[in-house]
Structure 1
Amino acid sequence: MTEDNLEQQAQVEAALASAGRLGVLHSIVPDMAEQDTDFVEFAAIAAGLFDVPIALVTLMDARDQWFKAAIGTDEKRAPSRDSFCAHTIADGEALVVADVQADSRFSGHPRATGAPFLRFYAGVPLLVDEQPIGTLCVFDVKPRQPTPDLVAQLQRLARLASLLFKLKHEARQRALKEAALTREEQRHAMALDAANVGSWLWDVRSGNVSCNRSMARMFGMPESRTVQAKDIFAAIHQEDRVATLSKLRAAMAADEEYDGTFRVGATGRWLLGRGRVHERDASGKPTVFLGINIDVTEEHSSTQRTRLLLRELNHRVKNTLAMLQSLARQTLRQTSDPQQFMTAFAGRLQAISEAHGLLSDHEWGAIRLSALLAKQLAPHVRDYDKQIEIHKDEILLGPDQAVGLGLVLHELATNAAKYGSLSVPRGKVVLTARGVDEDGRRVLDMTWTEVGGPPVEEPARRGFGSILIERSLDKVMGSSVKVEYLPAGLTAIVRLPL
């Protein structure tokens, strides 16, 4: 091998091993070994243009060249290092070998000295994000000299094949995102449905209202994802309609929270409604209104105890709505990507929903710490019994403590599942929770310790999750959360008056 050939081979090997090129290749094509019939037409057209027996659409990783589509051969792959196309990848442009026997780079190639005795090659790189991930190429068993116009047509065909690879990748990514979003929506819908909470989002300009099944059932409507606002207003009992709509309009105009109780005309059931303008246009007119409804029929017709419970519900729902809006704004500030926003916001919404579900089961009284721990931590672990070690006293939590601590636990568990001990199979969290007496009042001292995870470093910038951990217990006077980024694992110390 000549010195020039040695230099060319070094360039080929460097191109094949390029991290940028391989990164694009592996992200674009999840399974290179599987042939793809969508590319057969490209190979067939190329073979017809050049009137040759062999045409390929190939992908080239560091070691193997994979034939995604092939005309004239049953082979599915070949070694990358010895392939004609490796030089096309290294050059980054069209390569034409008019006579293989006259080219020192390829004259000794096994496919040239043996069957099928190749004599001609033309190949064009497939470029995705400016990286050559493979080739569109043709072979013949006799020498030939194609015209520049013919090579230009092969280049145009290669550009179309490259575009198809990218479009198929984008379609897969959209499908994955849509599937993830659908799963999140289903979980939210199930949680709200189980708690019998009707949620709705009103597009004021179009009049469309997106609502869950609980909302549709409350108003006696068919279970549809979208209804018209006028139909919902018409379903309110005639005696309550004017007052309810007046109150709603006044709250929207004054940018205040809407709070009202009314009956549904068809069923006579009482609903508690709360909501607020979530978005306004440049002129200040409301465009999106976010609200919830709770069936309070039994509460409305019961004794003083039920009326006290209703006031508690009003207070909790108001706090929850304010918390949801704050979480939405703060989460949105951290990311402009809709999918990342939905993932982060959905997890925090679920944490609040889980705490509310437990409190609802106990009529907004006290709930056990063990129940809250199981609800918030189980979704983030593979094996709860092995990865969550708990040493605790029997602790009862009130509503403010449960909701705030639920958010703290969610953020800690989410962080641990992404970066900490719960991100590896053998990692775990050790929780110690003790009730102690301080100056005549009961206080929860809880320590969260991560063990068996990756080494920990304190982040250079505090994210919203860290801020949320520290501020989730603001409603409980005297509470505190201290997070320490120890090399062996993150540790959080919670102090919570009971």
Structure 2
Amino acid sequence: MKDNVQPFTSDVAAVLEAPDRLAVLAAAVPVFLGPDPDFDDIAALAAGLFSVPISLVTILGRTDQWFLAREGTPDIRAPSADSFCARMIAECAGNPLVIPDARKDARFANLPSVTGAPHLRFYAGAPVLLGGEAIGTVCVFDVKPHARIAPDLVPRLERLASLAASLVKLKDEARRRLLAAEALSRDEKRHALALDAANVASWLWDISSGVVSGNETFYRMLGVKPAKPMSARRFFSSVHPADRKATIGRLRDALVSGKEYDGLFRAAKSGRWLLGRGRVHEWDTDGRPTVFLGINVDVTDGQLASERTRLLLRELNHRVKNTLAMLQSLARQTLRQTSDPVEFMDAFAGRLQSLSEAHGLLSDHEWGVIHLKMLLQKQIMPYAMDYEAQVEIHKDEVELGPDQAVGLGLVLHELATNARKYGSLSVRSGKVVITARVMNEDGQRVLNMTWHEVGGPPVKPEGRRGFGSVLIERSLDKILGSSVHVEYLPKGVTAVVRMPL
């Protein structure tokens, strides 16, 4: 059979390899998916017109001729090089061609389909033209020669070929629209996922219909259920009453000016702080806005942080004023105790350090509350030779506010420095025993704390009274109902602190 294959002529090869033709074909039919039932009627009409057993609607590729529709053959392809259609396109320059008897036509006599099965004799074909390029054909065959045909049959065959071209074009446009729709759908899904991941609400206000719709995040932020389009009135009512007037005013300004809307408001139901942004997206022919697009971003955490910062700054301002007043008092009391500049600086520096330690703890806890255990450790550890061995603590869980922590910190500092200089912390065998219990007195929680020194040098009251005793007893004056009482017993200093919590 291979010996009978008609070789490529230069004209046929040029047609099959023509870049412009292949480009049009690739754009219109990028992939052949098999016979298409939409073309069956064209093949049937062609066969009926010519009263022949075989008809085809073909796509002529570089190497293969594919059959979009066929009558009288089970095949769906044939080699392009051996086809009647390739020669018709090459020799007729886009015009139809009729071959009454292929055996008597040198151009077709040696084709395999003529010399062998199915022994074709009659052929008539018209090109399927797109953009001026022949991408295929509508053709008919018979195994018997046709000496003559009616003169109107070829024009009808051309119209069928034109119909096939229109159908190919329509299918290509439909395919492109489908691909565009799928791409748009993917983009929309990707955008929706991105908005959801970023917790961004998107919404659209159809001004002409008065309907507002949005994504799931939009309804969730507003606390609106069920999540479905709602009236603009309901949308505005979902804004917190305190923020509603300002929000509506900003939206109206954006509608009138065409500029961007930018507003911060709370959701009425959820109480969340939302930052809204948006602008008019469409206008009618009279210049009136018809569609408004917007987004909402949940900024509650930022608002709370900002409010917390403002509260901390107010608290800090208050504490700075109190601290300055306390420093003045410390300086005056320290000067009364000594006229020696060196001794003054040592005592005053230690008391400043005590204030600094208490302030540092409070700052670390954002000026909230701190635990008594932390304050004891900060104020006593620097003055103990071995904190774990020399400081014994028995206490309840106690939380101290800022004023309590600063005042008690000064008390502990004075007791610790005195114990280090003269008392139980001045020797390794000495010890401080601290007991802190919370009592309920007439419905109020009160801290009762005792400081008791043991194992230190004998106490001489007349030699101890001048070192910070007044400061110890006055450090808690700012806390109503508090008191500090110090006893210089021979076996060791004992201090009793009473402080409402």
Deviation string 1:344-383 (CA, Å, 9 cap, x unpaired) is: xxxxxxxxxxxxxxxxxxxxxxxxxxxxxxxxxxxxxxxx
1:252 Cα deviation from its structure 2 partner = 2.8
Match of residue 173 from structure 2: 170
Match of residue 110 from structure 2: 108
Match of residue 238 from structure 2: 235
1:84-103 map, 5 Å: 84-90=84-90, 91=92, 92-103=94-105
Does residue 123 (structure 1) correspond to residue 125 (structure 2)? The answer is yes
CA 1:171–1:210 in 2, change beyond 3 Å: closer, same or farther? farther
Preserved contact between residue 233 and residue 241 of structure 1 (Cα < 8 Å): yes
* 2:126 partner SS: strand
Preserved contact between residue 33 and residue 66 of structure 1 (Cα < 8 Å): no
- Name the TM-score, length of structure 1 as normaliser: 0.54
Q: Which piece of structure 1 moves more, 226-235 or 140-149?
A: 226-235
- Name the TM-score, length of structure 2 as normaliser: 0.54
1:92-491 map, 5 Å: 92-144=94-146, 145-209=148-212, 211-219=214-222, 220-224=224-228, 228-238=231-241, 240-278=243-281, 280=283, 284-297=287-300, 299-300=302-303, 304-305=307-308
Matched to 1:11, the amino acid is D
* 1:81 partner SS: helix
CA 1:206–1:157 in 2, change beyond 3 Å: closer, same or farther? farther
For residues 231 and 150 of structure 1, the distance between their equivalents in structure 2, rounded to whole angstroms, comes to: 69
For residues 130 and 167 of structure 1, the distance between their equivalents in structure 2, rounded to whole angstroms, comes to: 16
Does residue 23 (structure 1) correspond to residue 26 (structure 2)? The answer is no
For residues 228 and 159 of structure 1, the distance between their equivalents in structure 2, rounded to whole angstroms, comes to: 53
1:12 Cα deviation from its structure 2 partner = 2.6
Deviation string 1:104-145 (CA, Å, 9 cap, x unpaired) is: 211232222332222210111111222211111100112222
Preserved contact between residue 208 and residue 229 of structure 1 (Cα < 8 Å): yes
* 1:27 partner SS: helix
Match of residue 53 from structure 2: 53
* 1:125 partner SS: strand
Deviation string 1:139-182 (CA, Å, 9 cap, x unpaired) is: 01122222232222222222222222222222222222222222
Question: What are structure 2's unaligned runs of at least 5 residues?
Answer: 1-5, 312-501
* 2:218 partner SS: helix
1:54 Cα deviation from its structure 2 partner = 0.6
Q: Which piece of structure 1 moves more, 201-210 or 271-280?
A: 201-210
1:291 Cα deviation from its structure 2 partner = 1.9
Matched to 1:125, the amino acid is P
Match of residue 73 from structure 2: 73
Deviation string 1:11-44 (CA, Å, 9 cap, x unpaired) is: 3322221111111112222333633233223212
Preserved contact between residue 123 and residue 136 of structure 1 (Cα < 8 Å): yes
Deviation string 1:240-270 (CA, Å, 9 cap, x unpaired) is: 4344222211233234432323343444444
For residues 129 and 137 of structure 1, the distance between their equivalents in structure 2, rounded to whole angstroms, comes to: 20
For residues 78 and 167 of structure 1, the distance between their equivalents in structure 2, rounded to whole angstroms, comes to: 26
Match of residue 381 from structure 1: none
CA 1:27–1:228 in 2, change beyond 3 Å: closer, same or farther? farther
For residues 208 and 19 of structure 1, the distance between their equivalents in structure 2, rounded to whole angstroms, comes to: 54
State the aligned residue count: 301
For residues 251 and 52 of structure 2, the distance between their equivalents in structure 1, rounded to whole angstroms, comes to: 75
Preserved contact between residue 262 and residue 272 of structure 1 (Cα < 8 Å): yes
Preserved contact between residue 299 and residue 306 of structure 1 (Cα < 8 Å): no
Matched to 2:185, the amino acid is T
For residues 268 and 33 of structure 1, the distance between their equivalents in structure 2, rounded to whole angstroms, comes to: 57
Deviation string 1:309-356 (CA, Å, 9 cap, x unpaired) is: xxxxxxxxxxxxxxxxxxxxxxxxxxxxxxxxxxxxxxxxxxxxxxxx
Preserved contact between residue 258 and residue 273 of structure 1 (Cα < 8 Å): yes
Deviation string 1:167-198 (CA, Å, 9 cap, x unpaired) is: 22222222222222222211221121122211
CA 1:307–1:111 in 2, change beyond 3 Å: closer, same or farther? farther
Does residue 36 (structure 1) correspond to residue 36 (structure 2)? The answer is yes
Preserved contact between residue 300 and residue 306 of structure 1 (Cα < 8 Å): no
Deviation string 1:263-288 (CA, Å, 9 cap, x unpaired) is: 43444444322223345567654344
* 1:68 partner SS: strand
CA 1:278–1:33 in 2, change beyond 3 Å: closer, same or farther? closer
For residues 280 and 101 of structure 1, the distance between their equivalents in structure 2, rounded to whole angstroms, comes to: 71
Preserved contact between residue 82 and residue 112 of structure 2 (Cα < 8 Å): no
CA 1:128–1:248 in 2, change beyond 3 Å: closer, same or farther? same
Preserved contact between residue 300 and residue 307 of structure 1 (Cα < 8 Å): no
Question: What are structure 1's unaligned runs of at least 5 residues?
Answer: 1-5, 309-498
